[in-house]
Chains A and B, each alone.
Chain A
Amino acid sequence: MTSVHATTPSGFLLVLAVILPVCAVLAIVACGPRSAARIAMTTLAAGLAVAIAIAMELVAGGTALSYVVGGWQPPLGIALRADGLSGAMIVMTALVLGAVGLFARSQYALHDGGGAGRAQTTFWILLLALASALNATFVGEDLFNLYVALELLTFAAVPLVCLDGRAETVKAALRYLLFALLGSLLYLLGTGLIYGQYGTLDLLALSQLSREDPALSAALALMIVGLLAKAALFPLHLWLPPAHAGAPAPASAVLSALVIKAPVFLILRLVLDVAPPQAAAVAGQMLAVLGAVSILFCSVMALRQARLKLMIAYSTVAQIGYLFIVFPLAAGSADLPPWSTIAWTGGALQLISHALAKSAMFLAAGVVYEAFGHDRIADLRGFGRVLPISAAAFGLAGLSLMGIPPSGGFVAKCLLLTAAVAEGYPWLAATILAGGLLAGGYVFRVIDKALANPAAPIVVQRAVPRRLEIVALALAAAAVMLGFLPLRPFEFLQIGRSGVSMAGLP
């Protein structure tokens, strides 16, 4: 193997990012529910510190962080590696999880006094497991290790869906589990084929070894489609709306904001790092078509929804579509590798700003649900009077989804649009614009209700602590703040990328 991972001095941070939450899971299982929330919050804070440390190391060093686990070099052993994109993902994950943790701490403390009940304890365990699984996905370099991480993710996400134990959420969870399982099995199958062809599962090595051959083609097709099933891209989105709409608000927030990003991230790595250039182009075109259809179709579906959370869930499927139209736009060229293109930055920014905006939206919707006991949009007239902060959070997050300046979503869409125009993809440009209009439609439907005069005096069923609303607002504000990034390729996302001699280049 020509490529050798070498542990960098601060590579142990990657191990910590993956393992710290695992330690906390074990501690909660061992110690019982009493201290669950405390352990979880401490760990999330530590996770944020680790994430920031990773980002700072990346900026300071300008190269990727690597860690060879146990000193066993790949292909026999497993390596972890974080480049700029991974670093950004890790920080985003830590931020969103921290905010959701704060939200859940108040919310779950609300329901019963001790916070030692079934849903509470399980929630904290699953949240920490999610943190570990997401970080493992973002830093994994080994395809099978990534499979285990994906399964960990699924197993943490599924019980979150049916935390409230109602029949319909259990049904949604089962459907989610089966479809995700199907997806990860297809991924595993592809892993087997790749091992059989190249004798390694290390992504760095594969990026140099991969050639166009039938085994790799079959493997890539299976893996990408399997991951699509987990990412719920149209037309494989059957499980997402009921699952994300049925889960408790903090769970929906992490599911929509973070969990479906992990398979997307892996598809990105497969297409850009593993697939040979021609194959990457073919797969990229197909993914872009699916992404475009997803944007248009599911935005219309979001417009049609009568319930707030279902609307947000459909909007997630639509927004995921934007991440897939990046592939042909970021194809790059001989002198401009993909990660120097503006589309690469736009895609990454879309990923991050959607995570922030969507979690804010779900949390705000959770506050609304908690306050009114329902989330039927038609009956929410004037909720802005009662819950002004939540309405503001929803509105700000909506700005980002619509791509209205100044917001992260705007910068992302503007970059993608520029790329679409410059690369000669008018249909993608039209899709981006139409998607923005439709998003405007469904966000506006809710805002209009929030500002309307209530038909009858509003009755709030349960007072919601202000803290909950402020968490949602903070996330939405973060999504808007991203809009002050400059409109150009972002250097941080290129860290560690140039080291990979690119498979996508001749």
Chain B
Amino acid sequence: MKIDRRCFLSLVIGGAVGTTLTPVPWKLTDDIAIWTQNWSWTPEPEDGPSKFVKSVCTQCSGGCGIIARTIGNRAIKIEGQPDHPVNNGSLCPKAISATQHLYGPSRIQGPMKRAGERGQGKWEKISWDEAISTVTEKLAELRTRGKPHSVACISDTDRNSVAYLLDRFLRAYGSPNFIRTPSSADAQELALYLSFGRQGTIGYDFKQSDFILSFGCALMDGCDAAGQMMSAFGDMDKKTRLVQIEARLSDTAAKASQWVAAKPGTETDLALGLGHVMVRDGLYDKAFIDSHGFAFEDREDEAGNAYPGYRSLVRDYSPEKVAKTTGLPEKTIESLARAFARARRPVAVTGFSNPAAASVNQALAVFALNALAGNFQKPGGVFVIDEPDYLSWTEMKIDKTASAGNQQARIDGAGTKRFAHTRYLPNRLPEAINSSQGDSPVQALLVAGGNPLYTLADPQSAKKAFEKIPFIVSFSTFMDETAEQADLLLPHPHFLECYQDVPTPAGMAKTVISLARPVVKPVYDTRHTGDVIIETAKNLGGFIENAFPWKNHEDFLKKTLSDQWETLEKQGYWTDDSSRDNSLEKLFRTSSQRFEFLPRAGFETQGSENPKSKVQTVSLPGDVNELPLVLVPYSTIRISGGAVANTPFMTKTVDANVIAQQDVFVEINPETASEYGLSQGDKATLKTPAGNAKVRVNLFEGIMPGLVAMPAGLGRTGFSDYIAGKGVNVYGLIAPAADPASGLNAAWGARAAIGKA
């Protein structure tokens, strides 16, 4: 018997034939296919009983009610809370995708101190004890050196419990430098104070109004307004008119019954022009003006000085003249004024989620239209909501150091003689620091939200100023642009992980206080900023410690909200319908006890000799010949322009002619584009007095020739790779321009030039 190659071959063939008669090949084929259906790297979400928790979104100041679906300790999805008075179930994409920020790579996962150079991104994990004692030591040292006023605090709000605790802390410690980051509400609130004499917010009864005249408000394109406005728009019948005044066909303009494309920066003129027609034709509420108006007619003060009134002021704003300024047909101005005046419940809106900064005068001019319509505190009209007072305080005593510190002038210059009524001037802070000789006037900066290095008007000079501040603490939840430049990170939990009170959002016509509450247990080693302040105060001891008799933030909330806590816990919000006083009698707290068309307070601060010429418009710096175009920012609800960046989901929704790879597209009218030899998709260089940017071109018929529009919210460096590095920050290209009346930034755009790259 010879065993040769053929035997071996037969063995193999026999084996192969046999194998086909077994399950092996067939089962393996099947199982390998099943393996591709159950790849271990494809996640399999764990199931369990679903729970629905009511809370409120705090990612912008809109204050929308949400319902979070959870499974176990996982937040699965955010949906609108249908019965919430602010948004009635409507939510913007950011609220819906909040879980992405909760679990995303943007989170700061625990307290850290800087390990390398500033901004290098090197961090060392530390314990909370070490973190808090570092802050305490630094603050104690500055106090011993008698420089408590060199501590400043920046926050995105001055109206919730954390803001109050911070403010209280600063006062007990001895610093007047609590600063709120800028927003379009600044000028609006100042105008409210000047003409109504009240500190608070303005509410619009959109749901009942039949004519909404919006002066460039990103009602449905921007944060803050979207929840309220989209819910109102959803309910609107076809008879309600929404008129959008804006040079670009925004989404709000697209949905409006009428799009009035006035040149940007001429809103004040248009408002006065509309006022002109109404006054000229007697289309205004005479009864209201007679009993509650001030400075409608020319007047004299006690000293016998003559001051012109609103009537004389608008005389200069004839439709013919305003048509020239605004670029609108006279006919449009006339008919718009008449339509507004004849509507039953008209309301004029400005300073509510505007993408561009607006002047106080613009706000006053629009208030005047509402006054002419006599729609204050009436259904479908304008309501004044006072600053929240739901947090009941205990009195506190402060020591001498503190009281000396508190009496120092604010570093940002707010409240000084020049800007007597302005509360915060965040945009002047960088200048104040950069222009100081020697040490920075700010020796320690606490940043509790607001992400100033992104949201300030001139981020480059803000960054330069921050470099001079020796000690920066960020309480940010995310590795935002400001946290990147900080020395110490004390991360605040995500809003789905903690309690937070939310006061009445701007635009709401009634008081609504909501409570955000822990939907899931904290994912990372974070601590509530309120807790950190209380603990720091305790560490500092003495009067400061005594000013904070609470265990922690939650304890503080429960105690100060005593009456409303239960309602808030149960319902998620608390609203005050009954106690609202809609009478006009006590509405005005100006010195005249009336609505001041041309506020005395305003003139006094401006110290104008010739009040007639006082309606100054903010002109843009730069040479018109060199920079023939105008760059204007625009909001889109798919990109977040504020402190907290958009989520990756939101970026995903953005069209390829807005962002493509790293590039942002600017919108240009095809007519303008052809003048500069630009076609769709071209790479171009955009030049403004503040700097240059590489952009791409998107031709859009819906934008006024001569303009270049860029979306706000891009050009971030912080957060995560999913967000950073796309496009440029449009506000970095728009140098701040101070509103002479307030010192606030009122740069509505920037002169610009564009050329093929």
Asked if A and B are interacting partners, one says no
Q: Which residues of A are at the interface with B, using a C-beta cutoff of 8 A?
A: none
